[in-house]
Structure 1
Amino acid sequence: MKKVIIAFDGANFSEGAFDFARKMNELSPILLTGIFLPQINYSALWSYSSAAIGSGVVIPMLEEGDIATIEQHIERFKGLCQMHGIEHRVHQDFMDFALPELKQETRFADLLILASESFYEYLGVSEPNVFLKDAIHNSECPVLVVPELYNFPEKNILTYDGSESSVYAIKQFAYLFPEFKENKTVLLYAGPGDEIALPEEQNIEELCSRHFTDLTLFKLDVDPKKHFAVWSSEREGSIIVCGSFGRSSISMLFKKSFVSDVIRDHKLPVFIASR
């Protein structure tokens, strides 16, 4: 049984994120922990910590209306979990809960689920990099970003750039979602220039073919910075797997269009794992 955290912001209950967790539970029972973050400026919350309390950092107080909304969402979460037979927990101390506490929770979890749209709305930005980059780097378990409207995965897109991070993400995905092993799976590589061969092609093929029974290796021949989001948007029913932002010239190919554009367009679930 996997332990999964699902984090909601104070003003939104993500049906898409919960639906993904529900379907996970149907495939294999999970323990689902609901965390309800206050409706405040998420972009600054990673900097809050117990050490910062003594340095004058003040976390905004919640209004009564916000508290009532969060309590309604908590009851909805409990009711849906009971309806669908999901073992669940709820953190009741949401008034003092900020993202450093969420980071601590992820240390003891297998997966963190976030909704893409709701966190955008209160960030007030069109690019997810600032929040998601912080979330990914601070989370101590893989992160799954889920749009509100999507098709549950019947296909896997494993992005690979030859880096340690991309291989780690593929392995974590395989370990966490063995139920997806029979999905049509594309190992997608986008190398610089005219480079055709995949780095360590034999090794990565041996690894992936052990976990995914219907595997295809594919070299993306277009500029991924410009066209990856379009390419992926045409593959409904897919889940995209990637590692954390890397520093190499190869991994940077995925940095903008992959993480920013795909998540911004709210079309496909994205699984991100960093170590």
Structure 2
Amino acid sequence: MKKILLAFDGTHFSNGAFEFARWLNETEPVLVTGAFLPQAQAANMWSYADGMSGPMFVPLVEERDTEVMKANISKFETLCRKHNIEYRVHEDTFDFALPELKAETRFADVLIIGSEVFYENLGGKLNDYLHDVLHKAECPVIVVPENYAFPKTNVLCYDGSDSSVYAIKQFAYIFPELAKQPTMLVYIHKDGTNNLPQQVNIEELTARHFSDLTLMKLDMSADKHFGTWMNNREAAMLVAGSFGRSALSELVRKSLVKDVITEHKLPVFIAHR
């Protein structure tokens, strides 16, 4: 049984994120922990947990927002009982900020967040707040739009880097049931080369975990066109990595994955070391 961490902006309930957790539970029973955060008002709320100087800042939750959060928690509990999902709600979530969310991710298999509702108050953009969540989370993150088809295929984004291989392995380890679906390993060209890096090794690895596997090389300009190519695929999930903890995700900073997330059409699985 997997532990799924489901994070909500406390005043906005993401039905898309919950439905994805429900779908996973139908595939294989999971434990879902609901985390209800105060409204995101700053991009640097991780900082006080990282030992930075200066006063500790935790966003205040107005009385009205507190009532909305309580209603959303009640909705979450009702839906979990309705769909026979084992669940937890941590009682201290009214004081939640990003450092607490980071600590929660350390003890979860995967974090699910809604790409639209969770960031509604920040203009619906792939902003620094989302960058921080993706970068600081200590487990893989699934970013889910509100309206989508449950994935029937997987697209593994491979560029030869260790981080892309790491993401592929994490996806296979955590979701072996989804690895049985038709899967495409997409190689993103770099420096004009048409050679698949470590082709024998990546084929040996992925073929062990993905029983219906196809390899594909894209000769398009990935930075400009990959998002469009990906978003035209129906009922798919994108699996992507990042380049370590020393900087924000290179894949997210570029349009390679950002375009897929901001179009709000497909779920995206992101993992980094």
TM-score, with structure 2 as normaliser: 0.93
Task: Give CA deviations for 1:224-273 in whole Å, capped at 9, x if unaligned.
Answer: 111011100111100000011469xxx95775222211101001100000
Residue in structure 2 matched with residue 161 of structure 1 by the alignment? 159
Percent of residue pairs bearing the same amino acid type: 56
Residue in structure 2 matched with residue 46 of structure 1 by the alignment? 46
Rounded Cα–Cα distance in structure 2 between residues aligned with 1:194 and 1:97? 46
Rounded Cα–Cα distance in structure 1 between residues aligned with 2:229 and 2:45? 34
The 8 Å contact of residues 190 and 253 in structure 1, kept in 2 or not, is answered as no
Within 5 Å, give how 1:86-105 maps onto structure 2: 86-105=85-104
Residue in structure 1 matched with residue 16 of structure 2 by the alignment? 16
| SS of residue in 1 equivalent to 2:256 | helix
Report the residue type matching 1:158 in the other structure: L
| SS of residue in 1 equivalent to 2:43 | helix
Pick closer, same or farther for the CA change 1:109–1:246 going to 2, 3 Å. Answer: closer
Please report how far the alpha carbon of residue 193 of structure 1 lies from its aligned counterpart in structure 2 after TM superposition: 4.0
The 8 Å contact of residues 48 and 99 in structure 1, kept in 2 or not, is answered as no
Residue in structure 1 matched with residue 211 of structure 2 by the alignment? 213
Please report how far the alpha carbon of residue 46 of structure 1 lies from its aligned counterpart in structure 2 after TM superposition: 1.6
- 2:195 counterpart of 1:203: no
Residue in structure 1 matched with residue 137 of structure 2 by the alignment? 139
The 8 Å contact of residues 129 and 260 in structure 1, kept in 2 or not, is answered as no
TM-score, with structure 1 as normaliser: 0.93
In structure 2, stretches of 5+ residues that fail to align are none
Report the residue type matching 1:11 in the other structure: T
Residue in structure 2 matched with residue 123 of structure 1 by the alignment? 122
Report the residue type matching 1:120 in the other structure: Y
Report the residue type matching 2:204 in the other structure: E
Pick closer, same or farther for the CA change 1:130–1:245 going to 2, 3 Å. Answer: farther
Rounded Cα–Cα distance in structure 1 between residues aligned with 2:110 and 2:77? 19
Please report how far the alpha carbon of residue 221 of structure 1 lies from its aligned counterpart in structure 2 after TM superposition: 1.1
Report the residue type matching 1:115 in the other structure: G
Pick closer, same or farther for the CA change 1:125–1:254 going to 2, 3 Å. Answer: closer
Pick closer, same or farther for the CA change 1:30–1:50 going to 2, 3 Å. Answer: same
Pick closer, same or farther for the CA change 1:254–1:3 going to 2, 3 Å. Answer: closer
Quote the RMSD (CA, aligned, Å): 1.9
| SS of residue in 2 equivalent to 1:74 | helix
Pick closer, same or farther for the CA change 1:199–1:246 going to 2, 3 Å. Answer: farther
Residue in structure 1 matched with residue 240 of structure 2 by the alignment? 242
